Structure 1
């Protein structure tokens, strides 16, 4: 059982109070997982800067990576959050489930989700066929670097939730086994 509780605004540093206010304005609430990062004196600002840095990936591509990495890492919190964000970026419920299973009917997205899944499962290793399909779909070396950085961003959050088990503040999503059984 986790010993983590979600800190409230009055329990965090002055620097974090400003960040909480900014998150409240931008999102309408402070996600529990972000609030949990505020246990670290520097973690929340550092993480948000990293997460919001410029990338060659568009929002849909980032969500594809976020969904498959969270599925591979078994993170209920991030799956819930990125299902909501995926829908905000134009994915249907069916497309999100397909992405979580490692597939897409869009050829470019299919190459991306397969690459990100293998890279996550095998700790940065992908087979030649997957890598060749990734490049054949139009992705570049720059995209590869940005995808690995996106995987690291999501893996950090997945691990944090898997260890802390702070409450979900997004609608829970069913496990794939439940959906496809």
Structure 2
């Protein structure tokens, strides 16, 4: 039960209702995080833009990598709701139950190459409160594995997004 009142569909701004209607028709419900965002139209649309442009659109990182970041950072941040949501999304994207469970066991348990593990470990480090300790050499090390500036920026932006959304979910008691 959320710690604040979450709006029902009928209480949402018309612009948010327009975005929510297809989800509601397809799934029969709106998730708590959607409802939380709908409390404030500006927050909703700012957040939705990030979701659309970095998580749903095709980008320089694969969907598998983006979902691995989502699951790893959300687990690290103790966001059960986000882990559960992204387990489902990962399944919809074609990740097997075994692959999802390996991700949730941590980077070392994953069956991916050393390059991917390095990027995921870098993202976990970037998700920490002491991310200010990351230096140019750390970024250069990731780039030396073949990642471009755009890919590194995208990975860190997705990491930052999950720190943000995990914080909102955790603070407002979503998924409890």
TM range (shorter): 0.7 to 0.9
Match of 1:98 among 92, 97, 102: 102
Measured after TM superposition, the shift of residue 69 of structure 1 is 0.9
When normalised by structure 1's length, the TM-score is 0.79
Of 51-60 and 26-35, more deviation after overlay is shown by: 26-35
Paired residue for 1:112?
A: 119
Q: What RMSD, in angstroms, separates the aligned Cα atoms of the two structures?
A: 2.5
Contact 1:7–1:36 under 8 Å retained in 2: yes
Q: What is the number of equivalent residue pairs in this alignment?
A: 168
More helix by share: 2
Deviates more, 1:133-142 or 1:78-87: 133-142
Equivalent position of 1:80 in the other structure: 84
Q: CA deviation at 1:136?
A: 4.3
Superposed CA deviations along residues 50-91 of structure 1, whole A, max 9, x for unmatched, are 211153222111101101110111101100011111222232
Change (3 A) 1:2 1:8: closer
Instruction: Tell me the SS of whatever aligns to 2:107.
Output: coil
Aligned counterparts of 1:142 and 1:116: Cα–Cα separation in 2: 14
Whether the aligned pair in 1 keeps the contact of 2:3 and 2:173 (CA below 8 Å) is no
For residues 49 and 161 of structure 1, the distance between their equivalents in structure 2, rounded to whole angstroms, comes to 18
- Tell me if 1:56 matches 2:60: yes
Displacement after TM superposition at 1:13 (Å): 1.7
Q: 1:112 to 1:97 in 2, by over 3 A?
A: farther
For 1:60 and 1:28, the matched residues in 2 are separated by: 27
CA distance in 2, matches of 1:118, 1:97: 21
Deviations 1:87-139 (A, max 9, x none): 22232333223323233221133222211111112425447886566334421
How far apart are the structure 2 equivalents of 1:10 and 1:145?
A: 38
Gaps of 5+ in 1: 169-181
CA distance 1:84–1:133, shift in 2 (3 Å): farther
Q: TM-score, normalised by structure 2?
A: 0.81
